[in-house]
């Protein structure tokens, strides 16, 4: 096969070219959503507010090929995978929008596939906001991405804004981030550098009503942080990213923390998708916390 003869450098170059093309598409799609949002605002019909369930536990994505034959039956067509996932979980964290800004038709497809099912979508914000521009001059982009919530209506959960690990705490950036978040939405910010775990950040989040993302991840503080009525936790792994199979004892510690937080609403997503651990561990923790539902 031709692909097998490529050197490591050539594969990296191809990947870089694909990313450049993808980012060009993202900019174009963002522009189209901007126009759609402005047209919707001109209609003068205010978007409705909806109250999701008290307990929301699921996985960070549901379409993974390595789940075929384990979670998804071998003979099951991929078009039936979402329905199968929805039989086990009532929420999912969509990571694809981070890499590729979704079109309006894509968002409407999310709505269509959830028809007749109890399903809440949490949407990870585009890298154009968080990684490429790092919240610099992105006020309009944040508003445009927020239009997804209006399109999803009662199916909308949270917006997840994830910063890269290279971004260290700074008061200026903290102010810039919180100033751009639309308080009409449930905004979650996930940091990957431990310097953000500090009292100044917590206080600013509480004042803004923003949700600080608690993480179980390598080299990140292992604690539950509550800055709003809702709490949000992402499970990535302990010593290695995405590859940890959480034990019953480890999840019991988190279950106790969650109960003690006495949150109005709980959002939990497992991103340790290697070898189907996310499916297994999400099911385990859901059983532990079923009294909160």
In a domain, residue 221? The reply is yes
The 10 Å Cβ neighbour count of residue 32 is: 13
- State mean pLDDT over 106-132: 97
pLDDT at 4: 62
The Cα–Cα gap between 112 and 156 comes to 13
* pLDDT for residue 1 is more than 80: no
3-state secondary structure of 156: strand
In a domain, residue 27? The reply is no
In a domain, residue 38? The reply is no
* pLDDT for residue 17 is more than 90: no
CA distances from 57 to 69, 104, 133, 268 (A): 23, 26, 31, 5
What share of the chain has pLDDT > 70, as a percent? 99
The Cα–Cα gap between 44 and 23 comes to 32
The Cα–Cα gap between 221 and 257 comes to 14
For residue 161, give the nearest of 193, 194, 134 by alpha carbon. 134
Q: Cβ distance 56 to 120 under 8 Å? A: yes
* pLDDT for residue 3 is more than 70: no
Instruction: Give the domain CATH number at 253.
Output: 3.20.20.410
133: its two tokens = 């521009």
CA distances from 249 to 77, 173, 280 (A): 36, 37, 14
| Cβ-defined contacts of 245-251 (< 8 Å, 24+) | 245/272, 245/275, 245/277, 245/280, 245/281, 246/216, 246/272, 246/277, 246/281, 246/284, 246/285, 248/284, 251/281, 251/284, 251/285, 251/288
* pLDDT for residue 2 is more than 80: no
Task: Name the range with the highest mean pLDDT among 4-13, 188-197, 266-275.
Answer: 188-197
In a domain, residue 200? The reply is yes
What share of the chain has pLDDT > 90, as a percent? 83
In a domain, residue 239? The reply is yes
**pLDDT class for 274, splitting at 50, 70, 90?**
confident
Residue spans of alpha helices (H) in 43-103: 81-88, 96-99
In a domain, residue 14? The reply is no
Write down the mean pLDDT value for the chain.
Answer: 94
pTM: 0.92
Q: pLDDT by residue (tens digit) across 28-66? A: 999 999 999 999 988 877 777 789 999 999 999 999 999
Q: Cβ distance 81 to 290 under 8 Å? A: no
Q: Tell me the residue range of the domain where 153 lies.
A: 54-292
In a domain, residue 10? The reply is no
* pLDDT for residue 157 is more than 90: yes
pLDDT at 129: 98
Q: Pairing state of beta strands 156-162 and 120-124?
A: parallel
Q: pLDDT by residue (tens digit) across 208-226? A: 999 999 999 999 999 999 9
* pLDDT for residue 166 is more than 60: yes
The Cα–Cα gap between 230 and 266 comes to 6
pLDDT at 107: 97
In a domain, residue 163? The reply is yes
Structurally, the chain folds into a number of domains equal to 1
Q: pLDDT by residue (tens digit) across 79-101? A: 999 999 999 999 999 999 999 99
250: its two tokens = 């480890």
* pLDDT for residue 15 is more than 80: no
């Amino acid at each position: 096969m031709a692909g097998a003869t490529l050197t490591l450098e050539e594969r990296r170059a191809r990947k870089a070219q694909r990313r450049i093309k993808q980012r060009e598409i993202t900019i174009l799609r963002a522009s189209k959503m901007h126009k759609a949002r402005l047209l919707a605002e001109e209609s003068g019909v205010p978007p409705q507010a909806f109250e999701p369930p008290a307990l929301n536990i699921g996985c960070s994505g549901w379409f993974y090929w390595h789940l075929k034959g384990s979670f998804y039956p071998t003979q099951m067509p991929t078009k039936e995978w979402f329905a199968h996932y929805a039989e086990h979980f009532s929420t999912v964290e969509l990571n694809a929008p981070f890499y590729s800004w979704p079109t309006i038709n894509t968002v409407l497809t999310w709505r269509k596939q959830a028809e007749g099912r109890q399903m809440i979508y949490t949407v990870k914000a585009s890298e154009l906001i968080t990684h490429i521009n790092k919240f610099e001059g992105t006020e309009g982009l944040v508003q445009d991405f927020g239009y997804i919530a209006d399109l999803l209506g009662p199916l909308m959960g949270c917006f997840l804004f994830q910063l890269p690990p290279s971004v260290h705490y700074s008061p200026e950036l903290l102010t810039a981030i919180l100033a751009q978040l639309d308080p009409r939405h449930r905004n979650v910010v996930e940091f990957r550098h431990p310097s953000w775990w500090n009292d100044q950040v917590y206080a600013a989040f509480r004042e803004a009503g923003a949700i600080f993302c608690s993480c179980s991840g390598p080299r990140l503080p292992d604690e539950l942080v509550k800055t709003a009525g809702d709490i949000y936790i992402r499970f990535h792994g302990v010593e290695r990213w995405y590859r940890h199979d959480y034990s019953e004892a480890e999840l019991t510690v988190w279950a106790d923390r969650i109960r003690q937080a006495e949150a109005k609403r709980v959002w939990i997503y497992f991103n340790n998708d290697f070898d189907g651990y996310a499916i297994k561990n999400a099911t385990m923790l859901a059983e532990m916390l079923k009294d909160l539902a």
